[in-house]
Amino acid sequence: MDDSTLISALMMGVVEGLTEFIPVSSTGHLILIGDLLGFQGPPGRLFEVVIQLGAILAVCVVYFQRLWHIAVTLPTSAASRRFVIAILLAFLPAVVIGVFAHGFIKSVLFSPYVVSVALILGGIAILVIERNLPEPRHFEVEAFSPKLALGIGFVQTLAMIPGVSRSGATILGSLLMGVERRTAAEFSFFLAIPTMAGAVVYDTYKNYSTLTTDGSLVIAIGFVAAFLAGLLVVRSLVAFVSRYGFTPFGWYRIAVGAAMLAILSIR
């Protein structure tokens, strides 16, 4: 294995950690960057999925005290039980649709052209939604109703299209349903834990027989890089969106998508 592959794995990990929790599509960025770098990781997109677990680990570290409190008070606290039920209900649609659509998504939709168009359309959606937000009515994840949580879960399934953005779909869907910005961002963080963990288990099971020692090293480098970059984003994103909203990400998506379409058109 040459050094360029390891450096590419490091860069991909950093990109994953920086983009997983902001509404710009980490999967889309990995596809675009991987295409530009000519990066060939382990088969079956296993690299891209597993390094996302590194970013998810960052959420567990930053919110460890809150998650631990919910775990230990689950038998006695109604609020903790509502939190867990909300996460499970929001996770459910991704499980059902993901199992049936997994093959089609991986074989057909993982394309730089699909990602570029999705980035642009998603950016326009962010700009429109930010200008037409309803008054917030939900301020605590622990108070989410089952209907609200399930609705956000169905919106999250749109992110199975590369370039849409899992965090973008859940956050913007939450905002349209009356969730306050900070709470919407935090719910997206928490929902990422079972969603991405499930994707990692499924893809690892599907591709375990093809994994080599060299492939394991590439994944490990990307995993650590994603974890460290994810720590930076998780610790700063809530404060950023509370102050500036999501409009900057909308313009960023449009710019990146348009630039990639221009690059692809002349290759």
pLDDT attached to residue 73: 95
In 3-16, which positions are buried (b, 16+ CB within 10 angstroms) versus exposed (e)?
eebeebbbbbbbbb
At residue 179, φ and ψ (nearest 5 deg) are -85, 135
**pTM of the full structure:** 0.81
pLDDT attached to residue 106: 64
Count of CB atoms situated within 10 Å of the CB of 71: 10
> Which one, of 8, 52, 260, 70, lies nearest residue 159 by Cα?
52
Count of CB atoms situated within 10 Å of the CB of 113: 12
Least confidently predicted of 129-133, 237-241, 244-248: 237-241
Sorted by where each begins, the domain ranges of the chain are 3-265
Model pLDDT for residues 5-58, shown as the tens digit of each residue: 888 889 999 999 998 888 888 878 888 888 888 877 665 567 877 788 888 899
Model pLDDT for residues 205-236, shown as the tens digit of each residue: 766 666 666 678 888 899 999 999 999 998 88
